[in-house]
Amino acid sequence: MASVVKGVVKAIREKGIRNFFNVLIEDGYANCLLDGNLLQTKIHSIGGKLVGVDQFGNKYYEKIENTQYGRHRWVEYGDKSRYNASQVPPEWHGWLHFITDHTGDELLMLKPKRYGVAHKQNYSGAGDEYIYHSKGHALNPGQRDWTRYQPWQPTKT
């Protein structure tokens, strides 16, 4: 706890009080007041080792000692107000879920260059949801034509 206070004092001294509060708000400490989950994550992050930050600003922490096994890797989402598990890109997913020990930065190299698409979080319920349309659906951009007959084309006689 002392180290936390020491760090805070050091930061105020370096950035000035105004910038310090800006950073506090940016880092989501303000949200902690209403969001217990985030507060819990922030408290959990104390003493954790920052393993990497992905393109979305999600921070990945690891803490081997003095942590319950299985809770020793966690993510602090970059988006502080609206976060969910689908914001974790696939390269970090494996590390976060103990599938692999390779971090997302390492696995990013495996991403296929030619056809790998950018990760997109799940916006379900937020307007831009992805809805599956069957092959014959009019909203499917690759809609298939199930007409199995060719109609007669009237020509002028």
Partner 1 sequence: MGFFVLRALQRSRTPLSRLLSPQNPTFQSRWITSTTDLHKPEASAAAASEAPRPEIPPPRTPVGGARVHISSPEDAIEVFVDGYPVKIPKGMTVLQACEVAGVDIPRFCYHSRLSIAGNCRMCLVEVEKSPKPVASCAMPALPGMKIKTNTPVAKKAREGVMEFLLMNHPLDCPICDQGGECDLQDQSMAFGSDRGRFTEMKRSVVDKNLGPLVKTVMTRCIQCTRCVRFATEVAGVQDLGMLGRGSGEEIGTYVEKLMTSELSGNVIDICPVGALTSKPFAFKARNWEMKGTETIDVTDAVGSNIRVDSRGPEVMRVVPRLNEDINEEWISDKTRFFYDGLKRQRLNDPMIRGPDGRFKSVSWRDALAVVAEVMHQVKPEEIVGIAGQLSDAESMIALKDFLNKMGSNNVLCEGNGIHPHADLRSNFLLNTNIGGLERADVFLLVGSQPRIEAPMVNARIRKTVRATHAKVAYIGPPTDLNYDHQHLGEGPQTLLEIAEGRHPFCSTLLSAKNPAIIIGAGIFERNDRDAIFAAVETIAKHSKAIRPDWNGFNVLLLNAAQAAALDLGLIPESKNCIGSAKFLYLMGADDVNLEGVSNDAFVLYQGHHGDRSVYRANIIFPSSAFTEKEGTYENTEGCAQQTVPAVPTVGDARDDWKIVRALSEVAGSCLPYDSLAAIRARIRAVAPNLLSTDEREPATVSADVKPEFQYNMSMSGFKSAVENFYMTDSISRASKIMAQCSASLLKK
The residues binding partner 1 (CB under 8 A) are: 146, 148-154, 156-157
Least distance (Å) between residue 142 CB and partner 1: 19
**Could you give the CA distance from residue 39 to residue 31 in angstroms, rounded to a whole number?**
8
Least distance (Å) between residue 157 CB and partner 1: 5
Nearer to partner 1, 3 or 150 (CB): 150
**Could you give the CA distance from residue 58 to residue 48 in angstroms, rounded to a whole number?**
14
Nearer to partner 1, 69 or 146 (CB): 146
Which H, E and C letters describe 49-80, residue by residue? EEEEECCCCCEEEECCCCCCCCCCEEEECCCC
Task: Find out whether 91 and 84 touch, Cβ atoms under 8 Å.
Answer: no
Nearer to partner 1, 130 or 149 (CB): 149
Least distance (Å) between residue 144 CB and partner 1: 13
